[in-house]
């Protein structure tokens, strides 16, 4: 019976444990707070990622390890790796932590991505905007997720406030993409190179935070789905990746998909896989890192997910939504905080739409 | 956020916890061994059901309680009830613990059950067999489950060995029923009287232990399903029951169903509900005892379950079965021990049959 060590004890870690228990796996987390979402369902080594002693305590209690948070320091993963196998690799983690590495990876692999220029000073920002034109998007190279570390610049006058907003840290300027919708695709790769892909998923964001997801993405042609799979497959193969990866894409509406970013972990855009009659992204990530065969990824219906952000209706109301499968993370309400989500898997697209609408109708205003 | 206390830390408790975590519930178990199946996924008060101090420690750490094992002493439930609400009630537990009470309940409610005579001595056993004829079934009044405490008596010569086999404890003699198949139905009742029912399930046993289940039961007419629901509803209502109950039935093949026994808890015949696109028996039990609305019970396909008993194939092989959803309990192999189960929910009955056959083919011989 293997024990999996996980860096990070948030909801992704919690859901990894809940997906792994039925396989007879055990879990141990490293997190600063004992009563974190994962700590409510599994033991926790309380400590900091940067503390070698805490990492050693984790390593002693597990057979292999992974992470649930892409901003875990690469050094922590490298240190842990001296004691137990860790997947995905530090190289994969590094590629996702720095937008310049990430963009370079896309470009190298022939995956379309918005034109970009790396900037390290205000002068460079000015020259980048001149080259790329307005609107442009200024993004910090590191520590970006849920829309953090991003500013849209519409005119020359907005350059200075934008530069101040990112505290003048090393950044990228990207050309703004006029996309029709945002999508994401999840791929999973085992150590032996076998791969599986979930269908292209349509995602919607509210103030930078994922709010809803629909899978398969409505009206996505087979060609579009194949294109997305091809892109994520290139990344999996180049990184010799082991585990689940998410690729966020802009769908231009004309058959083109433009890569936005990757997340080297299970991802909010794949939470619908928990209730789709398939092997969930959480279980497939565990299978990949534990050397088990991958599971099926073709959903048994029209799937949808609604995030519960900031505040959530009473549990009584949530479980009263017909056909809803409720997932709460054991967190206290706080503005902008992901507290849980609701999944649907229904026989028609119309059923799904009605269920999502009914759910959104009872959410507190954001 | 409520914490549920559970008497008993076996696989049923483990699966209750895994079903309750996504609702934000927390769990605490009372069990003699810390490393029991539930203890791998939740905290445990290590102690005996009969120890008032252990019960007090459990009560201090939970808001309400239930049990996962019908042979927990009624006194323990009564003692716990002085401190926290406990569902189902001691009365329901008592009715299920003693076959004489159980049979009397069926008879009172007009639910057909095999003719029976209570016996407390060998003389009474002889007279009972004379009255009921052979074959007859001798069953101890208490502590029977998984075929334990049962002997079939085919002739007068078998009476004495049978009586010795049950150690001469208070028992029942039942007329042997020539049934076509065995079935079970699960009902759930909330404190406010609302009820839900899963479809009639066909069950197969190997040496008294459930080996496979099919739901909905193949070729069961709507009338048969309605009859089963009516019977379990009578029991739920009479006992003012709160939680999930299982009613095991003999299907005579001529439209009649004959009640065999009840289990006042989640039940192995309902494990398929975990992967049927419905609210599982585990979640519905928790919803009922926590005062939440009940969830949907209509499966999204042809469901099947195969128990892993005594020894199980390697995890690699289990997860390689296409469409299989694997559930392991974290137990070491031992003859006759339930180690896990595999669920299917497939679009046709033929798909289900093929999947079940493929699974049975890789099981070690029993």
Long-range contacts, B334-338 (Cβ 8 Å, 24+): B334/B310, B335/B310, B336/B207, B336/B209, B336/B309, B336/B310, B337/B309, B337/B310, B338/B11, B338/B209, B338/B268, B338/B307, B338/B308, B338/B309
Residue B161, phi then psi, degrees to nearest 5: -60, -35
Token code pair at residue B276: 């049927």
pLDDT value at residue B149: 79
How far apart are alpha carbons B114 and A248 in whole angstroms? 63
**Positive or negative torsion for Cα A361, A366, B2, B3:** positive
Shortest CB distance from B320 goes to which of A24, A293, A328? Answer: A293
In chain A, residues with a C-beta closer than 8 Å to the C-beta of B277 are 275, 277, 300-301, 345
Which of left, alpha, beta for A8 (phi over 0: left; psi -120 to 50: alpha)? left
Given a cut of 50, the residues of chain B with pLDDT beneath it are: none
Q: What is the ipTM of this complex?
A: 0.94
CATH 3.40.50.720 fits A3-86, yes or no: no
How far apart are alpha carbons B341 and B343 in whole angstroms? 7
Token code pair at residue A321: 């939504």
pLDDT value at residue A142: 87
In Å, how far is B293's CA from the nearest CA of chain A?
6
Mean pLDDT over each residue of chain B, to the nearest integer: 95
**Is the CB of B330 less than 8 angstroms away from the CB of A23?**
no
pLDDT value at residue A48: 95
How far apart are alpha carbons A163 and A129 in whole angstroms? 12
How far apart are alpha carbons A77 and A84 in whole angstroms? 10
pLDDT value at residue B144: 64
Give the residue from chain A lying closest to B321, CA to CA: A295
In Å, how far is B28's CA from the nearest CA of chain A?
11
**Is the CB of B319 less than 8 angstroms away from the CB of A295?**
yes
pLDDT value at residue A366: 64
Shortest CB distance from A287 goes to which of B301, B319, B340? Answer: B319
pLDDT value at residue A120: 94
How far apart are alpha carbons A174 and A177 in whole angstroms? 9
**Is the CB of A301 less than 8 angstroms away from the CB of B296?**
no
Which segments of chain A belong to CATH 3.40.50.20? 3-86
Which one, of A112, A143, A90, A82, lies nearest residue A264 by Cα? A90
In chain B, residues with a C-beta closer than 8 Å to the C-beta of A329 are 24
In Å, how far is A269's CA from the nearest CA of chain B?
18
Q: A287-337, pLDDT tens digit by residue?
A: 999 999 999 999 999 999 999 999 999 999 999 999 999 999 999 999 999
Contact B284, B15 (CB under 8 A): no
Given a cut of 50, the residues of chain A with pLDDT beneath it are: none
Contact A90, A65 (CB under 8 A): no
> pTM for this one?
0.95
List residues of chain B with CB under 8 Å from any CB of chain A: 1, 14, 18, 21-24, 26, 40-42, 275, 277, 287, 292-293, 295-296, 300-301, 315-316, 319-320, 322-323, 325-330, 340, 345
Which segments of chain A belong to CATH 3.30.1490.20? 115-175
How far apart are alpha carbons B181 and B252 in whole angstroms? 7
CATH of span B181-361? 3.30.470.20
Token code pair at residue B135: 């074959």
How far apart are alpha carbons A27 and A43 in whole angstroms? 7
Cα–Cα distances (Å) from B165 to B78, B137, B168, in that order, read 32, 12, 8
Token code pair at residue A150: 């991003």
How far apart are alpha carbons A293 and A272 in whole angstroms? 21
Strand order of the β-sheet with B150-153 is B116-119, B171-175, B136-140, B150-153
pLDDT value at residue B366: 64
Shortest CB distance from B22 goes to which of A1, A42, A327? Answer: A327
Contact B352, B304 (CB under 8 A): yes
Which segments of chain B belong to CATH 3.30.470.20? 181-361
Q: What is the dihedral of CA B235, B240, B246, B250, to 10 degrees?
A: 0
**Is the CB of B293 less than 8 angstroms away from the CB of A327?**
no
Start-to-end Cα distance in chain B: 44
How far apart are alpha carbons A323 and A325 in whole angstroms? 6
Q: B186-209, pLDDT tens digit by residue?
A: 999 999 999 999 999 999 999 889
Class of domain B115-175: alpha beta
pLDDT value at residue A133: 94
pLDDT value at residue A360: 95
């Amino acid at each position: 019976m293997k024990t999996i060590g996980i860096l990070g004890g948030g909801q992704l870690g919690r859901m990894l444990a809940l997906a792994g228990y039925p396989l007879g796996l055990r879990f141990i987390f490293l997190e600063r707070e004992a009563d974190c979402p994962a700590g409510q369902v599994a033991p926790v080594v309380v400590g900091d990622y940067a503390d070698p002693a805490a990492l050693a305590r984790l390593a002693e209690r597990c057979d292999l390890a992974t992470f649930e948070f892409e901003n875990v320091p690469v050094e922590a993963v490298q240190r842990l790796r001296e004691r137990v196998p860790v997947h995905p690799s530090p190289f994969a983690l590094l590629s996702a932590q720095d937008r310049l590495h990430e963009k370079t990876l896309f470009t190298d692999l022939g995956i379309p991505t918005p034109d970009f220029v790396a900037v390290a000073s205000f002068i460079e920002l000015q020259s980048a905007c001149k080259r790329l034109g307005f609107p442009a998007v200024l993004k910090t190279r590191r520590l970006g997720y849920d829309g953090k570390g991003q500013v849209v610049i519409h005119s020359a006058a907005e350059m200075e406030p934008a530069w101040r907003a990112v505290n003048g840290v090393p950044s990228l300027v990207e050309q703004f993409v006029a996309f029709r919708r945002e999508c994401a695709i999840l791929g999973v790769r085992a150590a032996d190179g076998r791969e599986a892909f979930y269908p292209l998923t349509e995602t919607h964001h509210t103030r930078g935070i994922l709010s809803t997801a629909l899978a398969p993405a409505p009206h996505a042609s087979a060609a579009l789905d194949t294109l997305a799979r091809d892109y994520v497959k290139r990344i999996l193969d180049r990184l010799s990746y082991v585990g689940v990866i998410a690729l966020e894409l802009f769908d231009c509406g004309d058959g083109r998909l433009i890569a936005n970013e990757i997340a080297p972990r299970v991802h909010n855009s794949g939470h619908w896989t928990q209730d789709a009659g398939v092997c969930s992204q959480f279980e497939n990530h565990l299978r990949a890192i534990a050397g088990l065969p991958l599971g099926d990824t073709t959903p048994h219906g029209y799937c949808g997910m609604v995030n519960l952000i900031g505040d959530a209706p009473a549990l009584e109301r949530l479980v009263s939504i017909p056909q809803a499968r409720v997932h709460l993370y054991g967190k206290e309400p706080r503005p902008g905080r992901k507290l849980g989500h609701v999944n649907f898997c229904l026989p028609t697209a119309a059923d799904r739409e009605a269920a999502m609408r009914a759910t959104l109708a009872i959410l507190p205003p954001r």
